[in-house]
Every structure is written in C-alpha cells, then in structure tokens.
C-alpha cells in the first residue's frame, strides 16, 4: 500500500504579534514590541503550503486558535462582559493580555507528537497534544489543539488521540519539535527519536544553566508509552545543554531528520556517537540504512544556526530517492550558512537541492519552515479517512487567501490587542474558517 508524509501547516492567526513572550528564544526576545503584519504572515505561510503542493507533496492545513483567549483571562480573575475582560486586562496586566492574544499555535510542530500506525501496538496513528507547559501563552493551546486534531482525524478506527500530559514542568512536552522518525518507507515500521533537554526525576542528567529546557525525558517516555511504541523502535537522546543556553530552545533548531537521514549540528547532542550507533542498529532491524550528515562547527557555528535557522528546515524525500531542503530566507543572508549549503548540494550526497522561502513574519518570533508544519505519516487508507476539508488543493488555497485578505489587519501593535473589536473580528473570521475547513464547532465561542 502507498504511504505518504503529509505536512499539515499551521495557518497564522489574525492576532500575530511580537509579544517577547519566549525567554530562551532569541528571535522572540529581540523583536519584542515591534509591530507585526498578520496578513503578510498568513500569506507567507500559505505561499509555502501552495508551493509544496505544487511540487507534488501532500499538504494539509491546521486551523489557528481563538484569540484573545477571553476564557483564559476569566480564569485569571478578569470579569464582566468580554469587552470588559479585555479592557481590564489591558489596564491592569498588559503582559497577560498579550499572552492571551498570541498566535503561537501557528507553530504546529509543537501541537502534538504523532506516531504512525506502522509503529504503534494497536496499528492506529497516535496523537498526543503537547502541554507546552514551559510558557503560559503556549500552555493554553492544547484544549483547542485537541479539538481541532479530533475534527481533522476523526475516525477512531484509524486515529487515537491522547490528552496532553499533566500540566507541570516535570512533564514539559513540546511535541514534534523534539521528535523525529526514521524509516525506510513512511508506511513501514520505523525508529522514533525523542530528544529531551533535561530529566525531571533523575539528577544524573545535566541541565542548562541559563535558559529553560522545555522537554523532559519523562514526558518523552510517557508519550512513547501512550503510543504503544516498542522499545526496539525508540531512541532517546539528550540535547547538549550548552546549545540550549545559546538559544536552541527545541531540537528542531539544531537538527532535522527524514527517511533514513539525520541532518544535525556537531554540537547538537550529548553522547553523539552512542546515539548514532543506536539509531543505526535499530533502523537496521527494520530494514533501514541510517545515514547522518553532520554540520561541523568550523563551517557553521551554533550562533549561525540559531540566527539563520538552517536546521529548522524541511527535509523532504523526492521520488528519485534524493532529498530537498526547504530553508528560510535568513539562510541565504548568512554567508557561512549559504556557502555550506552550496557545498552540501554540490557534493553528490543525498541532499541535492535547497529551496528558499520568505517566512520573515514567523521567523521574527523564532518560527521557521519546520516549526510551521506537523508531519503525519499516513497510508492510503488513513489518508482517505482524514477530513478532506483540511487537505490543500488549488481551490482551498484560493479560498484561504481570499479569507485572509478579507479578515486580517496588516499592522498589529499592543494597542490593537486592547481593542475589543479585535475579538469580534477574529471570531467572525474563525467562524467562517471552520466552514471553509469543514471542522464543525471547535472554538470556545462556538461551543460554550
């Protein structure tokens, strides 16, 4: 049976702004308070989806969330009508209003961890929504994420959904941003690779000194258990704490994998050789031949990687077996990175082509091409069971582009977030979106 990797990209929401909310994420902190352009952000994301679809890849779309999240503000004690809640928060606790307005759900690599049916004990595709416990503005995403994923992958015969892990830092889980899967073919059993930043219960593991490690070993292990993964099909590795302290807040800022290939920075992991050997032997047991492409620090520094987002790229398999790397424009702007990429594609290895995309609006908050997509490996039967409303087609691209043009503002500052009219605009837009994507009622304003 045929199988595919389907990339579901997060549609940027209408409140996209630069709130400076993510300590440890260099771009988020350095662009704090700048004015943003939600319309441009959404169109840049849609252009990437369309381009990948046109290249023949399977592409889907994941809906944004209701923002401002008035219900979240009510849980923090703000009361009255919706407009009063927003105005009171703006007056008394602007950072909380900004957090409740974040369009951060666009980075769907953090929406969930997904295990394909070939790896799981019950032969279904498993999803665990990420609790995103490290940052308040992200921790409010998972209830809606679960409803949206449930509406997209609704058939219980093929899809199993798990609620987010307990909402404490010891089970901090950031979803697919710290999870990669290696396989010979998408429909065959593979090796799931979980990368963690620290252990919450075992003090033998080192931890970063400056910035938080968002993903714990215990969270990764819990996800593997929930999904029914075999021990032989799982590898755990620790991120190098010193790169977290340099701004590598997720593994997908320093490594990317696809098929039988891991593309990574020399400083990305601890005990790299042991980890590579385990990946290689476990992949061999399911018929795969592991290959690693290491980028030496002498060619690209960790700082270059953080600024250019070289590794936050999409590594895609082409029909001839070679691979294509989708990188952000910032890679072309960094001389060392660009030179490295020219050498890489010219060397006759597996990565043969690089394509550049302008995703500046998202990049300025620390979200590159890989952050914007959630990969779901599906066989033909499973793909047919996905809600067809969320699969990208030329007409859907047209409707979404027009929808963005109709509803999105082209400038957003803190003052705009305090405008109660924004809430009404967003709800109107999202109500229409759920009809376009055939999701049913998924937002708090639709179900309460």
Q: Which residues are catalytic?
A: 174, 250, 371
Query: CB 187 → ligand SUG: shortest distance, Å?
Result: 25
Residue nearer to ligand SUG on the CB measure, 93 or 185 = 93
The CA distance from 362 to 372, in Å, is: 9
| 364-403 binders of ligand SUG (CB under 6 A) | 365-367, 371
Distances, alpha carbon 203 to alpha carbons 35, 176, 206, 207, 217, in Å? 42, 25, 7, 9, 12
The three-class DSSP label of residue 60 is strand
The CA distance from 73 to 84, in Å, is: 11
Please choose, out of 21-29, 50-58, 148-156, 295-303, the segment that lies near ligand SUG by the rule CB under 6 A: 21-29
Residue nearer to ligand SUG on the CB measure, 311 or 397 = 311
The CA distance from 306 to 99, in Å, is: 24
Query: CB 260 → ligand SUG: shortest distance, Å?
Result: 22
Residue nearer to ligand SUG on the CB measure, 98 or 189 = 98
CB 121 within 8 A of CB 115: no
Phi first, then psi, for residue 346 (nearest 5°) are -85, -10
Residue 5 as a binder of ligand SUG (CB under 6 A): the answer is no
Residue 250 as a binder of ligand SUG (CB under 6 A): the answer is yes
Phi first, then psi, for residue 222 (nearest 5°) are -65, -40
* Neighbour-count burial of 242, counting CB atoms closer than 10 A to its CB (0-12 exposed, 13-18 middle, 19+ buried): middle
Residue 11 DSSP label:
P
Please choose, out of 149-157, 179-187, 246-254, 386-394, the segment that lies near ligand SUG by the rule CB under 6 A: 246-254
Residue nearer to ligand SUG on the CB measure, 116 or 367 = 367
The CA distance from 256 to 313, in Å, is: 7
Residue 109 as a binder of ligand SUG (CB under 6 A): the answer is yes
Query: CB 371 → ligand SUG: shortest distance, Å?
Result: 3
Among 18, 127, 193, 269, binds ligand SUG (CB under 6 A): 18
382: nearest Cα among 141, 135, 118:
118
CB 252 within 8 A of CB 287: no
Entry field: residues in the chain: 448
Please choose, out of 62-70, 234-242, 250-258, 415-423, the segment that lies near ligand SUG by the rule CB under 6 A: 250-258
Query: CB 177 → ligand SUG: shortest distance, Å?
Result: 3
CB 116 within 8 A of CB 377: yes
Sign of CA dihedral 386, 112, 357, 266: negative
Distances, alpha carbon 375 to alpha carbons 7, 9, 126, 130, 266, in Å? 5, 9, 12, 14, 25
| 225-244 binders of ligand SUG (CB under 6 A) | none
12: nearest Cα among 51, 33, 40:
40
Please choose, out of 22-30, 341-349, 380-388, 435-443, the segment that lies near ligand SUG by the rule CB under 6 A: 22-30
Residue 36 as a binder of ligand SUG (CB under 6 A): the answer is no
Please choose, out of 100-108, 139-147, 391-399, 431-439, the segment that lies near ligand SUG by the rule CB under 6 A: 100-108
Among 104, 239, 258, 314, binds ligand SUG (CB under 6 A): 104
| 251-290 binders of ligand SUG (CB under 6 A) | 252-253
The CA distance from 188 to 186, in Å, is: 6
Among 3, 7, 65, 110, binds ligand SUG (CB under 6 A): 110
| 121-150 binders of ligand SUG (CB under 6 A) | 138
Residue 107 as a binder of ligand SUG (CB under 6 A): the answer is yes
CB 168 within 8 A of CB 133: yes
Per rule CB under 6 A, count of chain residues that contact ligand SUG: 21
Which residues in this chain contact ligand SUG in the complex, by CB under 6 A? 18-22, 25, 28, 102, 104, 107, 109-110, 138, 177, 250, 252-253, 365-367, 371
């Amino acid at each position: 049976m045929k199988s595919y990797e389907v990339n579901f990209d997060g549609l940027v929401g209408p409140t996209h702004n630069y709130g400076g909310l993510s300590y440890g994420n260099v771009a988020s902190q350095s662009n704090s308070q700048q004015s943003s352009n939600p319309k441009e952000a959404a169109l840049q994301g849609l252009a990437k989806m369309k381009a990948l679809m046109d290249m023949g890849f399977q592409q889907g779309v994941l809906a944004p969330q209701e923002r401002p999240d008035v219900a979240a503000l009510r849980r923090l004690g703000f009361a009255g009508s919706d407009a009063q809640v927003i105005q009171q928060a703006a007056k008394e606790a602007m950072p909380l209003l900004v957090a409740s307005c974040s369009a951060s759900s666009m980075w769907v690599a953090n929406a969930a961890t997904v295990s394909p049916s070939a790896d799981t004990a019950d032969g279904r595709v498993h999803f665990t929504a990420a609790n995103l416990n490290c940052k308040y503005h992200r921790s409010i995403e998972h209830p809606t994420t679960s409803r949206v994923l449930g509406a997209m992958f609704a058939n219980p015969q093929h899809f199993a959904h798990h609620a987010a892990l307990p909402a404490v830092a010891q089970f901090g889980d950031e979803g697919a941003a710290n999870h990669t899967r290696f396989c010979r073919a998408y429909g065959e059993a593979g090796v799931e690779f979980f990368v963690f930043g620290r252990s919450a219960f075992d003090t033998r593991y080192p931890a970063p000194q400056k910035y938080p490690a968002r993903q714990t070993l215990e969270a990764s292990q819990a996800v593997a258990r929930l999904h029914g993964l075999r021990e032989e099909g799982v590898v755990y590795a620790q991120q190098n704490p010193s790169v977290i302290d340099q701004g590598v807040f997720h593994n997908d800022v320093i490594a990317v994998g696809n098929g039988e290939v891991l593309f990574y920075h020399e400083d990305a992991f601890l005990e790299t050789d042991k980890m590579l050997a385990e990946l290689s032997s476990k992949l061999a047991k399911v018929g795969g031949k592991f290959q690693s492409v290491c980028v030496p620090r002498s060619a690209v520094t960790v700082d270059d990687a953080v600024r250019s987002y070289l590794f936050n790229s999409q590594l895609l398999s082409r029909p001839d077996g070679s691979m294509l790397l989708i990188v952000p424009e910032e890679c072309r702007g960094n001389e060392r990175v660009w030179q490295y990429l020219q050498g890489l594609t010219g060397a006759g290895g597996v990565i043969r082509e690089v394509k550049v995309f302008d995703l500046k609006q998202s990049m300025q908050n620390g979200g590159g091409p890989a952050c914007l997509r959630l990969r779901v490996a599906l066989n033909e039967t499973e793909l047919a069971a996905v809600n067809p409303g969320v699969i990208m087609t030329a007409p859907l691209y047209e409707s979404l582009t027009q929808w963005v043009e109709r509803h999105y503002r082209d400038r957003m500052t803190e003052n705009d977030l305090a405008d109660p009219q924004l809430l009404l605009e967003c709800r109107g837009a999202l109500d229409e979106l759920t009809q376009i994507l055939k999701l049913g009622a998924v937002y708090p304003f639709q179900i309460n």
